[in-house]
Amino acid sequence: MSDDFELDTDDLKRRMDGAMANLKTEFASLRTGRASGSMLEPIQVEAYGQMTPINQIGTVNVPEPRMVTINVWDKSMVGKVEKAIRESGLGINPQLNGTIIMLPIPELNEERRRELTKVAGQYAEHARVAIRNVRRDGMDQIKKAKADGMSEDDQKFWEAEVQDLTDKMIKAVDGALETKQAEIMQV
């Protein structure tokens, strides 16, 4: 048994990559003063008896750096989409033009920028915790294999592999956070 142990590092990496992908999605939802269609992803609209994402009710476009437009396909849904955006807490005031809803993105003030950098920091910490949880799972598998007769050299090798993977992912999270915070503070 001791020579047969093979830690599934691909599985650990996949799970850590999932935490990183989730972080990028959360970062995309933070408004930085620059228009982005992804900032509307969390918003759901009550359409045809169920909650539906905005991108399934109309076409989301970014025609210029400070404007997002939504071309609503069903004219009867325009009011519901507008209401959902107003109530979303994005701080954006929709403007109607027929079936097109225009969302001008206002400048962020200094205080709001600082708040957003703190939120970005919280998102990054959640990603770090998720990565460390995956690391702990890997270490637990190694400990179990050690109890089943794995040599100490093999144990140290696999622990080093898991730690190396963890360090790389934490560094990637820190880099993404630094980039996002710089983007938020950019005037």
Better-scored residue on pLDDT, 40 or 103? 103
Average pLDDT over residues 151-164: 92
Question: With bands split at pLDDT 50, 70 and 90, how would you rate the model's confidence at 89?
Answer: low
- Look at residue 179 and tell me if it is in a domain: yes
Domain boundary (75, 104, 133) is at: 104
**DSSP string spanning 86-121?**
HTTTS----EEETTEEEEE-PPPPHHHHHHHHHHHH
The whole domain housing 130 covers 8-27+109-185
Question: With bands split at pLDDT 50, 70 and 90, how would you rate the model's confidence at 16?
Answer: very high
SS3 content of the chain, % helix, strand, coil (to 5): 60, 15, 25
Residues 129 and 92 in one domain: no
Residues 113 and 175 in one domain: yes
Residues 39 and 23 in one domain: no
Q: What is the pLDDT of residue 170?
A: 95
Domain boundary (63, 78, 104) is at: 104
CA–CA gap between residue 55 and residue 37 (Å, rounded)? 9
Q: What is the pLDDT of residue 1?
A: 39
* pLDDT tens string 92-141: 788 888 889 998 887 778 887 888 888 889 899 999 999 999 999 999 99
pLDDT reading at 187 higher than 70: no
Average pLDDT over residues 157-181: 94
CA–CA gap between residue 177 and residue 24 (Å, rounded)? 9
Q: Of the spans 45-54, 124-133, 145-154, which averages the highest pLDDT?
A: 124-133
Domain boundary (104, 134, 158) is at: 104
Residues 113 and 153 in one domain: yes
CATH code of the domain containing 116: 1.10.132.20
Of 125, 76, 72, 77, whose CA–CA distance to 101 is shortest?
A: 72
